[in-house]
Structure formats: C-alpha cells, structure tokens
C-alpha cells in the first residue's frame, strides 16, 4: 500500500473540530489575499484544471458544473452541499463532517467565491445529528472568527452558511429532490430541464455539490491544480475517500488515489476478506451491479474501468460479500430499501419496486416458481430510462445483474418450493349466476 | 410535485408550423408546444394519465413515452414535457417496438396496485386507465396471486376484507360533494395540482410515499371549494366521484349536448349529459379562451332544478295578444340575462310592431361580483353583451321601477325581477296587466296576471355573446318536461305577428339588427365560439 | 356479508336484479373499515389547545424567527419547524403540523404531505429510547437481522412496537451511514455500537454484538432520568445575517463586483506563414478584449477581437513575439493576461480540444 496524500482526511483523529486546532493544522490559510485577488472565472478555470469530478456518485466534472451557472442574472446563486448520504455502504460524508467540519466551511467559502454565492445550505440528512452538531459548533466558531458573515476578512464579499436538517428520505440525495426538500416540499425529483445550475432552489441558479467535493477544495487551492490532477486517472483527478464495508477485516473510510486496484483496496487497506472466500463486490454502493470475484480481481477503482464492466464507480462505496451469503437475501434487502425509499412519483418506480420486493419476499420465503426470475428481469426491464430519476434503475439494475451473475443462488431458493414447476394459477371457474 | 410551476404551452391557431419527423415521416406540427399536443394536432394520440392541458406538467405517470433521436442515440422521453424542436426525430409505437413495450410496461405497473373493479366502478366507460389499456396495454396477466396487491390507502381507513386482503378506504367522505375511493387512486397528482394551481387553495395532498402514497385532505378538514367538483373531472380513475352523480347512470348510456351555461356572463361551455329526457349531470366543455376545462359548482349543480317548479304552457298566446292589444297605456318589455340573441331579436321585433307604446327594459338585480379567473365573470346577466350587440338597454330596470305608473302592461321574459329580493321591484305589481314568460313558476310568475311557460335555456337552440365578446352556440337538450313548451323567441314572434318557425329564422332577424352577425350561420360558429369584431363588451 | 350490502340488492325469481337502495345520501354509507375493522390503530391526538400552548412559547418563537430568516420563502423552513414540533412532543401531532404550516405560510395539507413523506417524523408517540437498527445491505451482510431478532426477543416486542412501560421502541430503518461499523444502531440521536466509560460510543472497528446490545440496553435503563440532551436542530448558530429579503434578516444581496474582473486565460500564440494565431479562454461576461504586442519595452495594441471569437490572427506576428490580452467586463478593466511568447505552430496531426 503506497502512502497516499490525504486530501480530505488529513485531519482525521487530530481534533480538528476546534477552530484553533484546525488553524494550527493549516486551516483557513486559503481565505487570504490569494483568494481575494482571484476572479470568479480564474477560480473556476483553476478547479477545471484539477479534473475534480463530483464525488456524490454521478461523477460530473465540478469545474464544468460551476461554469454552467449563469452570472449576472440578478438572481442569487446558491450552493447546496449534498450531505444526504443514504446509499447503502456509503459513510464517508458522515465521518468527514464529524471529524473536519471546518474544512467543509473553508471549501464552501472558496466555492462561494467562485460562484458569487451569498448563501449556502448544507443539506444534512436527519439521522446525522452528531454531524449537524459538529457543523453548527464549527459555524459558530467561524462566524466568531470572521470567516463568515458580512464582508468576510474586510472584503466586499458576504457569505452565510446554513445547515438544513433533512428528515429521512434517501431520494433527497438526488439533487433536484434535495432542492425540493430545501424548499420545504416533498423530496421528489424534478423534471429536467431546467437543470439546477440554471433554475434550482427558488428558481435561482443552484450548484449542488457533494461534501467530499467541497472538502477537496482547500487542499486543491493550497497546491497546484496539476498536482491534484496527476494523482488520479487522466479523466478524473485526485484522491477519493473510499468506504469499505461488509465482510472485510477492517471496514472503514480510506483515502486513496483514483485508479487503485480493487483488490488492493480490499486486501491492503481493509485487511482482506473474512468469514469465507470472496464472492462478490459492490464497487459503488448498493445500487450498482455486483462484480464477481474474478471481475473484482482485475477491476480498478475509477470511473472508466467500472463503467466498462457495466457497473459504476458511484460514491466509492465498496461492499465486500463473502461466499456464506446468498445473493437473493441481499437482493431482498435492496428490494426492501428501494421500495421503501421510492418517492412515489413515477408509476414504474412507485408500483414496480414494491412489486419486485414482494416477489423477492416470496422467493425467499420458499414460494418461488420457475420463471419468476425471468419475470423479475422483464419487470425490471420496464424501469429502463423511463423515470424522472434513476432510483428505479437502482433496483432494476441489481435485479438484472444479480440474477444474471448469480443465477444459481436464485435456483437454489426456488428449488425449495416443492411446487416450483406449477404454472401460474389460471383463471378459476366463475360463479355460474353471471354467465 | 416536480416543477409544479411549469404550465404546458398549448398550440394556438397562430402557432408557427415546424417540420418534425414522426416515424421517419415528415409532418408539420405547431412549433411552440409540447410533443404530446403537437402529435395530437396531427392526429396521433398519445396515451397519458397525469398530463392535463390546463394543469402544470407533473410528468409522473410515464405513460406518454416516445423515442427521440438525440446525441446519445434514441432515448425514451415523455411527450408531455418535451418541447417541439424543428427537425426532431420522433418514434411512436407505430415504428418502435421499444416505445410500445415501454408503454405496455408502464401500463402494467399502473394496474399492479389498482383494483380491477371496473364493473362496479362509476368511472368505467370514461376511465383513462381503461382507454390506455386498450390503446397500449393489453397485457396478459403475469403475476401470481400470492404476490398480493398493495392497495393505496390512508392508514386510518385501511381494513381487511373478507378475503384477508388489506384494502384502502372505500367511499371516504372527503368533502360535501365528493367521495373518495382511495385504492383506485393512481397518484397522478392532477387533483392536487388543480387545487393548488387553479383553485389556489391547496386542500388536497398526496401523503406518504412509495406505494403507500394516498390522497388526502388535512385530517379533520373537508375538501370544500367552489370548484371542487372539477377534481372529479380531472381524476383519471374512479377515485374521486361526485356524490350527486354516483351510481346514477352508466356513462355510456348518456347522450351529450354541447351548450352554454347561462348563469354567468362568461358563458362557461358545458356538456349536458342526459338520458331518457332527464339531465344526469353537467360537465365542463373545453374552451381554451373561456372556461378552459373548469366549471363552478354553482353552474354544474344548477341542472338539478331545471325540471323542478316548471311553468306549464297553458292559456294560449292569443290571450296574451289580446291583453297587449287592449292595453291603453304604455307597454314595458322586460328581458332577463338568460334570453338568447334569438329571444332578443324577437323581443325587438315585438317592440317595433308595438311602436312607441312599447319600451324595452333589461338588467338583473342579482349581486355582481369580481371575476374569479377560472370559469366565472361574476356578472349574473349572461347575455349582457348580446343586449348591447342588438342595441338594447342592458341595465335600466330601475327606470321601470320609478315610472311604473306610466305603464299598463308589462311583459316579462326570463326575468324573475320580483324574486330577486330587491324591494324596489315590488312596484311592478302596480301595473295592471302583468304577463310573464318564464320557464319556472317563480315569484314573478306567481304574481303575474298571465303566466306562460316557455323552454329553459338548456332546452333551446340559440346563441349568446359572452363577456369576452365571443358568440357562443346553445344547443337544445331534449329534456323539456312538457312537449307543449316553446322557446321564448317563438312566443314573442307570434305576439309580434310574424312567427319564427325555427331558431335560425330568429338568428337571421338578429343579423338585421346587428351587422356583426350578418352572414353568419350556426354551422359557421365553431363549438368554441366566434370572436365578434369591435365588440363593446 | 354486512348489513348494508344485504339490504341493497335482492335476487328475485326471474333472475332480475332489483335495486331498492334506501333513500339516504350516498355519502352516509357506513365506512367499510368500521364494518370489517381497521387494520391500524387510529392515533389519538392530543387536545389542540394544549398542543398550541406548548408550541407558542417565547423560545420556540425565537427559533422559528431564526429559521424563517434563513430562507427566501417561509416554506423553506417547514422541515426545520416540523423538527421543532417533534422536539417538543417526541412526535408530530396533527395540530402541530397545522401550526408548522401556519408558521411557514403554507397550506396545512402541504405540510401534512411533507410530514408524512419523510420517515423521521413520528406520527405516534414513541418510547423514551428509540432504538433504530439499520437493516441495509452492509449491516445485513454483517448479520443485522439476527441481532434485531435478538433485541425483539429480549424486549418482548416486534419492530415498530413500544414496550408496555414506554421505555423502548424498536425500529428497522434504512442505511444510517455508518456501514463501517455495521451492524449498528441509533439510540435516539446517538450512534452506538457499545457503551464505553458510561457513554454510548461508536468507535472505529467496533460493531454491535449481542453482548454490546445488552450493555446498551442496561445503559438506557440506568439513564432514564439523565438522557443525553440533544437540540433537535443540532444547536443554534449565532452571528449569521440570514437570507437577503427574508423576514428578520439583515443580510444584503451579494455585491456583483466583490471579486476582481476576470483576465483572459490560457493565451497561446502560434506562428505559421499566415502570421501569429492567438487562442485564449474568455469569460462569458467579457465586453471587450484588446490584444497587445510587445514592441521593445512598450505594449502596443494590435487588435480587438470580438468577445465571442475563438482566435485572432496577427499577420505580422512571428515566432518569438510576445503578446498579452486585456479584457474588459462592463466598466471594469482586468489585469493583463499572462504574456504569451509565440511558438512555431506544429504540423496539424490531430485536433486538440480545448
């Protein structure tokens, strides 16, 4: 395991929640003349040159996202930090905010300077009350130290950060749903276009960024953009905070450069698979297609490689599964999750995720039939590209991939039903009185 | 929910025409609208559930999918939210199996948790889901009964039926006029959007999420608004049903007569749905410039009194004629706002026959209110603009009240001047001969010396001019309680001695008085009416 | 079959249906749930007066004012105000939702939709200790379900239920964002995998076990009267000036010229037989660009390309010439761009994207 530069996690375990400690560790050095002498355009160009891509899951280049925000419209520009981390297997933002809240604030000031934002909202999921407490404490210190508020450090620039506590909805991690939630509505994704960069929160330009993306900015701004860019792959620069969970010896948050081989992550960072042999890996959170042990052996953790393997990098959440697990059980867990978290807007997702979950329940309960798997695949195929947001595909994709790659697990369950070959109950005899 | 402020852009006659390619065939469509409306304009119907032309686009039903050629290949898009762009390439189920399958899949999902109780559902026959099923579904049942259904319903109303299935609330009383069948709701959001964006009073909301979503009002509150019955119109399924029409008639047994609601000067366009000579319901008829798809409860429920307290046609016209002829003093001809253009033409003809002795009075004593911006102008005198068009006074009832002593005869047509609660009109009773032509045995009729029943506006053919100066057609619904009843213009023209045999005769007469009507025929007036040039309304 | 259905339809001898519905308004039909029995217990709501008394306190008013000052539209504070309600009661009574709607200036039905959409708002009272167990994939892999079964057996209740003494409620929830410690749980608002030094702790590398659950439950029982207090919104932030235009906010909109004007970036000059070709990256707000060339020790303007232009050709340019560009945005003139020294244009092998 090569020693990696720590971009986001360098202050972990050093008590950086306190502003004095954070400043001693080099914090808030960026909020200086160097930043204040930079124009918005220069700063966006600076970030573009780092090849920083959004760390929330979609991997959209951050600099490009910022450059889409129209300037001079007379409307305020909002930065919204997406701290609604709810994807199964992802827990980096939780610890990033808990351990180093000031870095998020510092990153936000840099982002606000680039975008001309007056107010930023940190949309933190409701379960993370300790994070919110940590952030609010940090905000109080930052206001007291003059880094936030009116006319920061004697410039004409004013900036406020508010923490918004969500209340339990996975779908609010989708940026337009998050904006709806911020506006005090149900967190249901919006139709696009208009994209949030043009018309987002309160119909104003809005830039939604992940916590990790914003927290990479202080390091980036302190160093040369090329230094960050060269750490990753040619199309995505920098390091990534990986979350490794599941059947590994040392699950946790690890920062590593993009493009690190999957097995290095599992064996060297996380201490190897425990409890059995490696069966499957989910490389990017619960909604991505699993990799089998053979595929995992050759995969590297970057956007392109995983996309070529028909899965996704997502938020860098590696979930390791050993061979004591039946994949149908895990798919049932996902069915439960996504049918519970569907926002109830689009018909296929609202009704379909619940239906798939009920079908999986039947299979797990020993009532599976021949043809159920094909039926599930066919139903999941009805999700493809027809809904407003990709939540339906987050279940439809795994249903297809699990059943294709681990078909034996399904057959094993279905064989438990003695009547599994019985055809679907055809129409029963109708009462004679009507016909 | 999503982007609820996005009202769809609808095509108009002046829309620029652009060329797009539908199934590789070039067609010219309106260029300033969404794809769904554009395809409709060239005769391609796209099944949809949540889209409504007068509600903000919500895009949640995913039924109107089409394929669009884009930079990343052919993508499925929803037609209701995709703007038309010149040269775009669109594929419908006619050429694309993918679209066909996607629509079929959506239709299947739509019915997964929807009860299949069409035989006992009041919406059957005009249900969007039924139409879409025939259009794009026709799925074979693939699911096993043990998967069960997850009926949508308010947890407070859910019950277990005799088969052990958890059911949503049945006929929940959510308002004074509406019943809700929770499990039939498909969460299309239309009623929510109607109440929020059109009625401006967000009384309904989808509560919960995922497949536990259910439609509800705030606990303990009732859905109560002047336009609340419109939610039963926009509801694509049998979830929201009007109490007054529930289980009254199967909709396919109803005949529909397009006409105009003559209780307001906006002249809301309506359908009169009748069967066997009885009106069962009144539905709004879409007119983009007048009432769009909306109708107030007052206008909608008014039909319940159309066949009550009617005045019979007894006594004969000759008696009236004699009474007028034998009058010594002046004659007052009083017309009400429900008179059609035809009635007014006959009235003016009568006045001309009688010469200087006669004078026309018109107006209403009902309270005028402000336009509500939906389907009412607030002026209870429906044909006020028609009066002006024919050169008749439209607001001089008080002149009559002040000079009653000058008159010996009053002929009152469709105007319940005494019954409107204004004391000043009681003076009318001082006129010795009081002839009343009215559909109803109202207070004015009961105080008349001679009351003669005529047809109600719902039963006559005619025209009216609304407050936007649009000439609109009324059609006769065959619902008159008595075959003896005649329209007012026939009676009046007989009094004048030149009887009209049909409404069109009267209309031609009206054209003599009003040049704006010259050259028009009923056939040339569209169902949505005709803009009159240079109106004074 | 229930009474009201029996009375409605009769089968008569000739198999015709006779419909003799009693003359009653259809809306007055009995609710089938009352005939068959409700599935769910109807939550009894507290007296509205008491609810409002508890909510209309000076402290909560102050909190609400602070929240409303943060959002351009009052409705933005709805989630937070609902949290305040939950902070007072431990759950959100119907009257509390109506109160929150009033505070935020939105329709009560809208607030109801919001309050039922998000799963963290409780619509019935919960036990003193709300034990939320993650059941999502990472925790499931590490054995969350057996642990939940264990707790259910230990406390004698099922998930979603409250113990009769009102102490514990067990909930199964989706990912709690601590998969590295899976399986894990939330005790009210504290993440916990164990009790360390008399406090609930979630330490790196620890996971929930049957033994640690026993310790946590014992800890809960011991701390009924001194439960850790958390502010429902994680504390108050002092010193912020609110959102410009919001009620109670002192903030003014951002001044447009807080940052220096943008210079031209990435100026590159390449020479071939047609002269020197300059390429650059311009900001959308540019209103004027001037190209200057170094002549001895002085800079001489040689041209003024359009703000949307991609390239500029100086016919007299040759390798070694020095160029710079000066951009104007509105009335503000930016500092000159970095000096670009003209290089020989390479042979066109491939088109490079900027």
Residue B137 domain flag: no
Lowest mean pLDDT among A281-295, A373-387, A414-428: A414-428
Write down the residue that tokens 């700063």 correspond to: A43
Rounded mean pLDDT, B74-98: 94
State how far residue C201 is from chain A, nearest Cα, in angstroms.
Answer: 12
Using a CB–CB cut-off of 8 Å, the residues of A that contact B are 169, 176, 180, 185-186, 188-191, 194, 203, 339-348, 350-355, 358-359, 362, 367, 369, 375, 378-379, 381-382, 384-388, 424-425
Smallest Cβ–Cβ distance between B157 and the set C27, C33, C94 belongs to C33
Mean pLDDT of chain A: 91
Chain C contact present for A71, CB below 8 A: yes
CB contact (8 A) between residue C175 and residue A170: yes
Q: Is the pLDDT of residue B222 over 70?
A: yes
Q: Is the pLDDT of residue C283 over 90?
A: no
Is residue B121 domain-shared with residue B87, that is, in the same domain? Answer: no
Contacts of C286 in chain A (CB under 8 A): none
| Region C48-117: CATH code | 1.10.10.1590
Q: What is the pLDDT of residues A207-266, one digit of tens each?
A: 999 999 999 999 999 999 999 988 888 888 888 999 999 999 999 999 998 889 999 999
Contacts of A127 in chain C (CB under 8 A): 120, 132, 173, 176-177, 186
Q: What is the pLDDT of residues B223-266, one digit of tens each?
A: 999 999 999 999 999 999 999 998 889 999 999 999 999 999 99
List every span in chain A annotated with CATH 3.40.50.11540: 19-229
% of residues, chain B, pLDDT over 90: 73
d(CA B77, CA B450): 67
Mean pLDDT of chain B: 91
Confidence of residue C311 (pLDDT cuts 50, 70, 90): confident
List every span in chain A annotated with CATH 3.10.20.600: 239-322
DSSP structural state of residue A269: I
What is the residue extent of each domain of chain C?
3-36, 48-117, 129-222, 265-344
| Region A239-322: CATH code | 3.10.20.600
Q: Show the DSSP H helices in B113-211 as ranges.
A: 128-132, 190-193
pLDDT of residue B5: 62
% of residues, chain A, pLDDT over 70: 97
CATH code, domain carrying B422: 3.40.50.740
- For the domain made up of A19-229, the CATH class stated in words is alpha beta
CB contact (8 A) between residue C251 and residue A137: no
Confidence of residue C29 (pLDDT cuts 50, 70, 90): low
What are the CA-CA distances from residue A198 to residues A113, A164, C228 (Å)? 18, 22, 44
Q: Which of A42, A127, A244 to mutate to test the interface with C (most CBs of C within 10 A)?
A: A127
Residue B298 domain flag: no
Contacts of B219 in chain C (CB under 8 A): 94, 112
Contacts of B57 in chain A (CB under 8 A): 191
> CB-side exposure of A19: number of CA atoms within 13 Å?
17
CATH code, domain carrying B163: 3.30.70.20
Strand partners, B255: B274
pLDDT of residue A2: 58
CB contact (8 A) between residue B147 and residue A351: no
Chain C 94-123, residues with CB within 8 Å of chain B CB atoms: 94, 97-98, 106-110, 112-113, 116-117
Last-in-domain residue among B223, B247, B271: B247
CB contact (8 A) between residue C39 and residue B216: no
ipTM field: 0.94
Rounded mean pLDDT, B518-532: 91
In b/e form, how buried is each residue of B146-159, taking b as 16+ CB within 10 angstroms? Answer: ebbbbbbbbbbbbb
Nearest-5° Cα angle at B247, B245 to B253: 85
CB contact (8 A) between residue B213 and residue A379: no
Is residue B93 domain-shared with residue B121, that is, in the same domain? Answer: no
CB contact (8 A) between residue A169 and residue B209: yes
Largest CA distance in chain B: 88
What are the CA-CA distances from residue A141 to residues A149, A258, B316, B534, C115 (Å)? 12, 34, 95, 70, 32
Contacts of A169 in chain C (CB under 8 A): 117-119
Cβ-proximal residues to B27 (8 Å cutoff; 6+ apart), any chain: B19, B20, B21, B42
Confidence of residue B422 (pLDDT cuts 50, 70, 90): confident
Contacts of C22 in chain B (CB under 8 A): none
d(CA C278, CA C271): 9
pLDDT of residue C315: 85
Q: Positive or negative, the Cα torsion across B361, B366, B367, B371?
A: negative
Q: Which residue of B has its CA nearest to A346?
A: B60
Is residue B169 domain-shared with residue B61, that is, in the same domain? Answer: no
Burial of B124: CB neighbours in 10 Å, binned 0-12, 13-18, 19+: middle
Q: Judging by DSSP bridges, how do beta strands C199-201 and C190-192 pair with one another?
A: unpaired
Chain A contact present for B60, CB below 8 A: yes
Q: Which residue would you say has higher pLDDT here, C274 or B461? A: B461
Backbone angles phi, psi at A64, to 5 degrees: -65, -40
Lowest mean pLDDT among A99-103, B84-88, C323-327: C323-327
Smallest Cβ–Cβ distance between A186 and the set C114, C191, C242 belongs to C114
Q: What is the pLDDT of residues B336-368, one digit of tens each?
A: 999 999 999 999 999 999 988 899 999 888 889
| Region C129-222: CATH code | 3.40.30.10
What are the CA-CA distances from residue B70 to residues A336, B40, B91, C263 (Å)? 35, 22, 12, 36
Is residue B396 domain-shared with residue B485, that is, in the same domain? Answer: yes
In the sheet with A317-322, reading across from the earlier edge strand, the strands are A252-257, A239-246, A317-322, A278-282, A291-292
Smallest Cβ–Cβ distance between A339 and the set B106, B142, B211 belongs to B211
Burial of A391: CB neighbours in 10 Å, binned 0-12, 13-18, 19+: buried
Contacts of C119 in chain A (CB under 8 A): 167-169, 340
pLDDT of residue C352: 53
Is residue B122 domain-shared with residue B78, that is, in the same domain? Answer: no
pLDDT of residue A428: 54
Is residue B398 domain-shared with residue B468, that is, in the same domain? Answer: yes
CB contact (8 A) between residue A379 and residue B187: no
Confidence of residue B13 (pLDDT cuts 50, 70, 90): confident
Q: Which domain holds residue B163?
A: 117-126+149-247
CB contact (8 A) between residue C137 and residue A336: no
User: Among candidates C211, C61, C104, C191, which has minimal Cα distance to C139?
Assistant: C191
Q: What is the pLDDT of residues B94-137, one digit of tens each?
A: 999 999 999 999 999 999 999 988 999 999 999 999 999 998 88
Is residue B205 domain-shared with residue B108, that is, in the same domain? Answer: no
d(CA B130, CA B14): 34
CATH 3.40.50.620 is right for the domain spanning C265-344: no
Cβ-proximal residues to B355 (8 Å cutoff; 6+ apart), any chain: none
Contacts of A402 in chain C (CB under 8 A): none
Confidence of residue C353 (pLDDT cuts 50, 70, 90): low
Smallest Cβ–Cβ distance between B210 and the set A344, A384, A424 belongs to A344
Backbone angles phi, psi at B405, to 5 degrees: -65, -20
Q: Which two tokens stand for residue C230?
A: 């958390």
B-C contacts (CB, under 8 Å): 84
Chain C contact present for B164, CB below 8 A: no
Confidence of residue B533 (pLDDT cuts 50, 70, 90): confident
Q: Is the pLDDT of residue C25 over 60?
A: no
CB contact (8 A) between residue C243 and residue A160: yes
Q: Which two tokens stand for residue B277?
A: 């000579």
DSSP structural state of residue C237: P
Q: Which residue of C has its CA nearest to A119?
A: C243
The H or E element that residue B444 is part of is helix B443-446
CB contact (8 A) between residue C36 and residue B159: yes
Rounded mean pLDDT, A297-308: 91
Smallest Cβ–Cβ distance between B156 and the set C36, C42, C110 belongs to C42
Q: Which residue of B has its CA nearest to C32?
A: B170
Q: Which residue would you say has higher pLDDT here, B22 or C284? A: B22
Confidence of residue C18 (pLDDT cuts 50, 70, 90): very low
Q: Is the pLDDT of residue C117 over 60?
A: yes
Q: Check if the beta carbon of residue B279 is closer than 8 Å to that of residue B296.
A: no
> Count of domains in chain B?
3
Contact partners for chain B, using 3 or more CB pairs closer than 8 A, are: A, C
Q: Check if the beta carbon of residue B84 is closer than 8 Å to that of residue B30.
A: yes
Topology of the domain comprising A327-414? de novo design (two linked rop proteins) (1.20.1440)
Cβ-proximal residues to B463 (8 Å cutoff; 6+ apart), any chain: B340, B341, B342, B386, B471, B472, B473, B474, B507, B510, B522, B525
Strand partners, B519: none
Q: Which of C9, C94, C113 to mutate to test the interface with B (most CBs of B within 10 A)?
A: C113
Rounded mean pLDDT, A155-160: 94
For helices A101-115 and A211-222, what crossing angle results, to 10°? Answer: 80
Q: Judging by DSSP bridges, how do beta strands A278-282 and B178-180 pair with one another?
A: unpaired
CB contact (8 A) between residue C251 and residue A139: no
Q: Which of B157, B180, B241, B250 to mutate to test the interface with C (most CBs of C within 10 A)?
A: B157
d(CA C114, CA A186): 5
Contacts of B158 in chain C (CB under 8 A): 33, 38-40
Chain A contact present for B110, CB below 8 A: yes
Q: What is the pLDDT of residues C190-237, one digit of tens each?
A: 999 999 988 998 888 889 999 999 999 999 999 999 888 899 999 999
Smallest Cβ–Cβ distance between A191 and the set B3, B108, B211 belongs to B3
pLDDT of residue A426: 55
Chain A contact present for B80, CB below 8 A: no
pLDDT of residue C310: 84
pLDDT of residue B313: 86
CB contact (8 A) between residue C116 and residue B208: yes
Smallest Cβ–Cβ distance between B158 and the set C27, C29, C33 belongs to C33
CATH code, domain carrying B44: 3.10.20.740
State how far residue B147 is from chain C, nearest Cα, in angstroms.
Answer: 19
Q: Is the pLDDT of residue B3 over 60?
A: no
CB contact (8 A) between residue B1 and residue A186: yes
Model-level pTM greater than 0.90?
Answer: yes
């Amino acid at each position: 395991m090569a020693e990696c530069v720590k971009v986001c996690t360098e202050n972990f375990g050093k008590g950086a929640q306190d502003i004095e400690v954070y400043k001693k560790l080099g914090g808030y050095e960026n909020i200086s003349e160097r930043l204040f002498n930079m124009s918005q355009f220069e700063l966006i160009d600076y970030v573009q040159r780092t090849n920083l891509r959004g760390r929330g899951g979609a991997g959209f280049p951050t600099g490009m996202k910022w450059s889409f925000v129209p300037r001079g419209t007379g409307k305020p520009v909002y930065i919204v930090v997406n701290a609604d981390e709810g994807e199964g297997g992802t827990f980096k933002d939780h610890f990033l905010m808990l351990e180093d809240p000031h870095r998020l604030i510092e990153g936000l000031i840099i982002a606000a300077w680039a975008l001309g934002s007056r107010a930023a909202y940190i949309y933190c999921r409701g379960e993370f009350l300790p994070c919110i407490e940590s952030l609010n404490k940090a905000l109080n210190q930052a206001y007291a130290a003059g880094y936030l508020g009116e006319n920061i450090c004697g410039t004409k620039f004013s900036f406020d950060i508010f923490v918004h506590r969500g209340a339990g909805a996975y779908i609010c991690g989708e940026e337009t749903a998050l904006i709806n939630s911020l506006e005090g509505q149900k967190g249901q994704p919006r139709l696009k276009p208009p994209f949030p960069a043009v018309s987002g929160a309160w119909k104003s330009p809005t830039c939604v960024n992940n916590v990790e993306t914003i927290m990479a900015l202080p390091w980036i701004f302190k160093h040369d953009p090329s230094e960050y860019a060269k750490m990753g792959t040619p199309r995505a620069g920098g390091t990534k905070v990986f979350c490794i969970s599941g059947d590994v010896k040392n699950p946790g948050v690890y920062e590593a450069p993009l493009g690190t081989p999957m097995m290095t992550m599992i064996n060297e960072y996380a201490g190897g698979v425990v409890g059995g042999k490696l069966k499957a890996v989910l490389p990017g959170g619960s909604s991505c297609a699993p990799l089998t042990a053979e595929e995992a052996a050759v995969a590297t953790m970057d956007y392109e490689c995983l996309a070529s393997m028909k899965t996704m990098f997502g938020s860098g959440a590696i979930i390791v599964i050993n061979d004591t697990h039946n994949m149908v059980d895990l798919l049932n867990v996902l069915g439960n999750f996504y049918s519970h978290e569907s926002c109830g807007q689009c018909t296929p997702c609202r009704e379909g995720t619940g239906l798939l979950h009920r079908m999986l329940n039947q299979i797990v309960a020993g009532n599976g039939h021949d043809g159920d798997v094909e039926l599930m695949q066919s139903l999941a195929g009805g999700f493809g590209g027809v809904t407003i947001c990709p939540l339906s595909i987050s279940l439809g994709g795994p249903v297809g991939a699990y059943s294709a790659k681990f078909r034996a697990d399904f057959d094993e369950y279905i064989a438990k039903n003695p009547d599994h070959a019985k055809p679907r109950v055809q129409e029963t005899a109708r009462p004679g009185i009507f016909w | 929910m999503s982007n609820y402020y996005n009202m769809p852009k609808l095509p108009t006659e002046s829309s620029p025409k652009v060329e797009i390619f539908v199934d590789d065939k070039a067609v010219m469509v309106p260029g300033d609208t969404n794809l769904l409306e554009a395809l409709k304009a060239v005769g391609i119907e796209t099944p949809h559930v949540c889209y409504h032309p007068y509600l903000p686009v919500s895009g949640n039903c995913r039924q109107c999918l089409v394929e669009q050629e884009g930079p990343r290949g052919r993508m499925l898009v929803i037609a209701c939210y995709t703007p038309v762009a010149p040269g775009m390439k669109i594929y419908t189920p006619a050429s694309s199996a993918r679209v066909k399958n996607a629509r079929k899949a959506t239709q299947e999902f739509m019915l997964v948790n929807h009860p299949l109780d069409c035989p006992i559902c009041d919406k059957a026959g005009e249900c969007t889901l039924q139409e879409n099923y025939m259009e794009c579904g026709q799925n074979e049942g693939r699911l096993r009964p043990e998967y069960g259904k997850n009926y949508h319903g308010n947890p407070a109303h859910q019950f277990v039926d005799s088969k052990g299935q958890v059911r949503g609330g049945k006929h929940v009383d959510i308002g004074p006029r509406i019943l809700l069948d929770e499990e039939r709701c498909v969460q299309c959001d239309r009623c929510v959007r109607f109440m929020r964006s059109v009625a401006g009073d967000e009384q309904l909301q989808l509560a919960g999420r995922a497949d536990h979503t259910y439609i509800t009002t705030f606990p303990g509150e009732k859905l109560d608004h002047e336009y609340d019955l419109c939610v039963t119109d926009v509801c694509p399924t049998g979830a929201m049903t009007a109490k007054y029409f529930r289980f009254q008639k199967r909709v396919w047994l109803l005949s529909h007569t397009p006409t105009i609601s003559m209780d307001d000067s906006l002249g809301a366009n309506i359908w009169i749905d009748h069967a066997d000579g009885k009106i069962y319901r009144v539905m709004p008829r879409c007119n983009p410039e007048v009432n769009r798809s909306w109708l107030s409860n007052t206008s909608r429920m008014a039909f319940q009194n159309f066949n009550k307290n009617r005045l019979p046609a007894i006594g004969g016209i000759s008696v009236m004629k004699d009474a007028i002829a034998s009058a010594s003093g002046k004659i007052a001809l009083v017309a009400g706002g429900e008179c059609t253009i035809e009635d007014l033409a006959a009235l003016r003809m009568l006045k001309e026959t009688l010469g200087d002795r006669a004078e026309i009075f018109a107006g209403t004593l009902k309270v005028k209110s402000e336009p509500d911006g939906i389907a009412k102008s607030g002026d209870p005198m429906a044909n006020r603009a028609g009066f002006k068009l024919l050169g008749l006074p439209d607001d001089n009832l008080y002149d009559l009240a002040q000079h009653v002593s000058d008159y010996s005869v009053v002929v009152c047509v469709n105007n319940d001047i005494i019954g409107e609660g204004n004391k000043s009109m009681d003076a009318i009773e001082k006129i010795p001969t009081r002839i009343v032509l009215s559909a109803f045995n109202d207070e004015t009729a009961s105080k008349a010396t001679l009351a003669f029943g005529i047809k109600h506006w719902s039963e006559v053919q005619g025209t009216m001019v609304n407050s936007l100066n649009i000439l609109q057609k009324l059609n006769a619904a065959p619902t008159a309680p008595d075959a003896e009843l005649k329209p007012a213009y026939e009676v009046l023209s007989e009094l004048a001695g030149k009887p009209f045999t049909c409404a069109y005769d009267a209309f031609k007469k009206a054209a003599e008085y009003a040049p704006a009507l010259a050259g028009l025929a009923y056939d040339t007036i569209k169902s949505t009416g005709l803009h009159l040039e240079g109106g004074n309304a | 079959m229930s009474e009201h259905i029996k009375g409605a339809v009769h089968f008569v001898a000739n198999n015709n249906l006779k419909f003799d519905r009693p003359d009653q308004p259809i809306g007055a039909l009995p609710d089938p749930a009352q005939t068959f029995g409700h599935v769910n217990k109807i939550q009894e709501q507290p007296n509205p007066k008491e609810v409002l008394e508890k909510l209309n306190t000076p402290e909560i008013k102050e909190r609400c004012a602070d929240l409303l000052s943060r959002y351009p539209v009052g409705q933005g504070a709805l989630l937070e105000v609902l949290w305040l309600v939950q902070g007072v009661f431990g759950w959100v009574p119907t009257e509390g939702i109506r109160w929150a709607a009033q505070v935020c200036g939105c329709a009560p039905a809208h607030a109801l939709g919001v309050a039922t959409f998000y799963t963290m708002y409780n619509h019935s009272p919960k036990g003193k200790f709300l034990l939320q167990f993650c059941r999502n994939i990472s925790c499931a892999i590490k054995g969350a379900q057996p642990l939940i079964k264990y707790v259910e057996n230990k406390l004698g209740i099922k998930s979603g239920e409250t113990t009769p003494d009102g102490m514990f409620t067990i909930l199964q929830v989706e990912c709690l964002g601590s998969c590295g410690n899976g399986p894990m749980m939330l005790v009210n608002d504290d993440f916990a995998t164990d009790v360390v030094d008399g406090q609930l702790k979630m330490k790196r590398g620890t996971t929930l076990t049957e033994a640690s659950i026993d310790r946590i439950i014992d800890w809960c029982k011991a701390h009924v009267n001194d439960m850790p207090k958390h502010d429902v919104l994680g504390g108050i932030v002092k010193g912020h000036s609110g959102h410009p235009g919001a009620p109670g906010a002192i903030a003014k909109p951002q001044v447009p010229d807080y940052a220096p004007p943008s210079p031209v970036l990435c100026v590159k000059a390449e020479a071939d037989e047609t002269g020197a070709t300059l390429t650059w990256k311009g900001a959308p707000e540019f209103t004027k660009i001037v190209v200057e060339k170094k002549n001895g020790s002085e800079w001489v303007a040689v041209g003024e390309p359009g703000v949307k232009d991609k390239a500029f050709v100086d016919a007299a340019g040759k390798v070694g010439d020095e160029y710079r560009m000066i951009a104007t945005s509105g009335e503000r003139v930016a500092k000159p761009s970095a000096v670009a020294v003209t290089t020989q244009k390479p042979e066109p092998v491939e088109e490079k994207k900027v």
